[in-house]
Amino acid sequence: MTDATSQTGLPGAQPRKSLHAADARTRRRNASEARFRFFGAAAIAISILALIVLLTSVLGNGLSAFRQTFITMPVALDAKVLDKSGTGDIEVMKKVTTIGYAKVIEKALTAALAEKGIATDGLDAKQISGLLSQEAAASLRNQVLADPSMVGQTVDVKLLANGRVDGFFKGRVTMDSAKLDSNISPEQLELALKMREAGLMSVSFNSGFLFGGDASELRPEAAGLGVAILGSAYMMLIVLVLALPIGVAASIYLEEFAPKNKWTDLIEVNISNLAAVPSIVFGILGLAIFINFMGLPQSAPIVGGLVLTLMTLPTIIIATRAALKAVPPSIRDAALGIGASKMQAITHHVLPLAMPGILTGTIIGLAQALGETAPLLLIGMVAFVREFPGAPPEGFFDPASALPVQVYNFTQRADPAFVERASGAIIVLLVFLLLMNAVAILLRRRFERRW
């Protein structure tokens, strides 16, 4: 037996000459080892590359959404046009529509161009005022109605420029594309360039993007995220208020009190399955139960909050149970030993010690809920909402949007300017997620104890 193996060796193996010179088989094995290692490194490289491409694509498209082209010029607010009664009565002034204000702006723009000595050959008044956003008149009207004493004076106002002009300065619109565009002409863009040199037009930080409401399809320059951010905040509030106590209570029961029997097994299997149910199914649940059956309003943060609560519960329960499990039994035993009841041992000692872990899990669950889109589409959050929802609790029932849904909404619109808006909204969303995760990491680093 031993003779046989020592004589033949492995099939195909040649008698070795030196240990320093690798034979063919060793070389093959080493090459395969190197190859395998290379594949592993390549897999890591691919994942990281994907992350980098993803982030640069979003950042590259979206950062420009935070800057916007504005036209700053003196506007003479003619009392004869804007306040016909001359009494400053706000009700009378409200009767002047945006069309009236558009005329005032048009006049002011022509005057400003003449003053700076910018030639406007070949452009009629309509084309010149076309450089301004259609939203400009409405925003001026709001300013005046907020402060009626402005009427009769000449004030410097900052008005949004048209989305195409904005796109021109950001490189999205070119002279060539303007030739084919019915909304803008190359001559208008020439004028915009001159206005920029004269200091009438400038690109600056756009607070309207963060705090304003959504705008219609024709006015991408005025579209903002204010309603979406507020709606998302309302929903997160509802999720936090409902999911945290319910999740913690359920976990305490399952981890500390529940007897081991078929019934609790069923609950546990249930929870782990719920964590893996596709999110859109929760949307169907919300639509069928909360809207159709209970008659709650569509697009309301309350419905979104309830659906997201049900979705977040499994995450919170799983995290809380892990945190409770991590508290060593000696703590419980010590409390019980000095006469505390089981409930006291848990509420006075185990729960406070598990709190950092619970909060970390909750924040991660909230971050997931914040980015969730699909279920919200089904409960009507895609609707176009311009008005801000009211203050809670009544505001929970008002229509609102949500950040991720707003992104989806922007991508469904035809104007390419909305791609920039959608990417900008994603940046806002990612910043919120980053903050939440940073808080979670901080909590874990600072307070979590290793036993």
Partner 1 sequence: MSIGLITLIVLGLAVLGFILGRQRALSAVKGDPRTLHSLPGYYGWSVFLFTAVPALLLLVTWAFVQPIALNSHVSAMVPEADVASYGSTQLVMADVRRIADGLDAVARKAGLDEVGLEAMRADLTDMRGRLAEVGVALGSNVVPSVLDAAKEYRSLSGELRLAMSIAVLLAAVAGLLFALWRINPKQRARNLVEQFTLVLLAGCSLIAVATTFGIVFSLVIESVHFFKLYDFRDFFFSMTWNPQFRGGSDLGLWPLVWGTLYVSFIALLVSVPVGLMAAIYLSEYAGKKVRAFAKPAIEILAGIPTIVYGLFALITVGPFLRDWFAQPLGLGSSSSSVMTAGLVMGIMLIPFVSSLSDDIINAVPQSMRDGSFGLGATQSETVKQVILPAALPGIVGAILLAASRAIGETMIVVMGAGAAAKLDLNPFEAMTTVTVKIVSQLTGDTEFASPETLVAFALGLTLFCFTLALNVVALVIVRKYREQYE
According to CB under 8 A, which residues from 96 to 115 bind partner 1? none
Nearer to partner 1, 57 or 153 (CB): 57
Nearer to partner 1, 84 or 413 (CB): 413
Cα(381)–Cα(262) distance, integer angstroms:
40
Residue from the set 153, 183, 272, 330 that interacts with partner 1 by CB under 8 A: 272
Q: Report, in Å, the least distance between residue 192 CB and partner 1.
A: 26
Stretch that binds partner 1, among 14-22, 92-100, 123-131, 365-373 (CB under 8 A): 365-373
- 155 touching partner 1, by CB under 8 A: no
43-102 binders of partner 1 (CB under 8 A):
43-44, 46-48, 50-51, 53-54, 57-58, 61
Scanning 83-200, the segments in alpha helix (DSSP H) are 90-93, 98-116, 125-129, 135-146, 163-170, 175-179, 186-197
Cα(198)–Cα(190) distance, integer angstroms:
13
- 265 touching partner 1, by CB under 8 A: no
Give the count of alpha carbons within 13 A of 110, CB side only.
12
Residue 49's contacts (CB-CB under 8 Å, 6 or more residues apart) are none
Supply the DSSP symbol for 212: S
Angle formed by the axes of helices 186-197 and 163-170, nearest 10° = 70
Nearer to partner 1, 292 or 330 (CB): 292
Q: Which of 313, 350, 309 is closest to 332 using CA atoms? A: 350
* SS3 (DSSP) at 389: coil
Residue from the set 380, 400, 417, 421 that interacts with partner 1 by CB under 8 A: 380
Contact 372, 315 (CB under 8 A): no
Q: Is 265 left (phi over 0), alpha (psi -120 to 50) or beta?
A: alpha
Q: What is the DSSP secondary-structure string of 290-304? A: IIIIT-PPTT-HHHH
- 295 touching partner 1, by CB under 8 A: yes
- 169 touching partner 1, by CB under 8 A: no
Residue 167's contacts (CB-CB under 8 Å, 6 or more residues apart) are 173, 416, 417
Residue from the set 138, 145, 377, 439 that interacts with partner 1 by CB under 8 A: 377
10-29 binders of partner 1 (CB under 8 A):
29
Q: What is the DSSP secondary-structure string of 309-327? A: HHHHHHHHHHHHHHHHHHS
Stretch that binds partner 1, among 1-9, 65-73, 239-247, 324-332 (CB under 8 A): 239-247
- 371 touching partner 1, by CB under 8 A: yes
- 351 touching partner 1, by CB under 8 A: no
Report in angstroms the alpha-carbon separations of 167 from 27, 110, 427: 59, 23, 19
- 340 touching partner 1, by CB under 8 A: no
Residue from the set 287, 300, 303, 308 that interacts with partner 1 by CB under 8 A: 287
- 372 touching partner 1, by CB under 8 A: yes
Stretch that binds partner 1, among 150-158, 164-172, 212-220, 370-378 (CB under 8 A): 370-378
| Interface with partner 1: number of residues (CB under 8 A) | 90
406-435 binders of partner 1 (CB under 8 A):
407-408, 411, 419, 422-423, 426, 429-430, 433
Stretch that binds partner 1, among 87-95, 149-157, 215-223, 363-371 (CB under 8 A): 363-371
Residue from the set 4, 10, 276, 414 that interacts with partner 1 by CB under 8 A: 276
- 384 touching partner 1, by CB under 8 A: no
Q: Give residue 450's identity as a one-letter amino acid code.
A: R
The token pair at 342 is 């089981």
- 310 touching partner 1, by CB under 8 A: yes
Burial group, residue 201, by CB count within 10 angstroms (0-12, 13-18, 19+) = buried
173-212 binders of partner 1 (CB under 8 A):
none
Exposure class string for 161-170: b at 16+ Cβ within 10 A, else e: bbbbbbbbbb
Q: Report, in Å, the least distance between residue 332 CB and partner 1.
A: 15
Cα(306)–Cα(401) distance, integer angstroms:
15
- 359 touching partner 1, by CB under 8 A: no
Q: Report, in Å, the least distance between residue 109 CB and partner 1.
A: 34
Cα(417)–Cα(218) distance, integer angstroms:
10
Q: Report, in Å, the least distance between residue 221 CB and partner 1.
A: 19
Q: Report, in Å, the least distance between residue 391 CB and partner 1.
A: 12
Residue from the set 282, 308, 324, 358 that interacts with partner 1 by CB under 8 A: 282
Q: Report, in Å, the least distance between residue 55 CB and partner 1.
A: 9
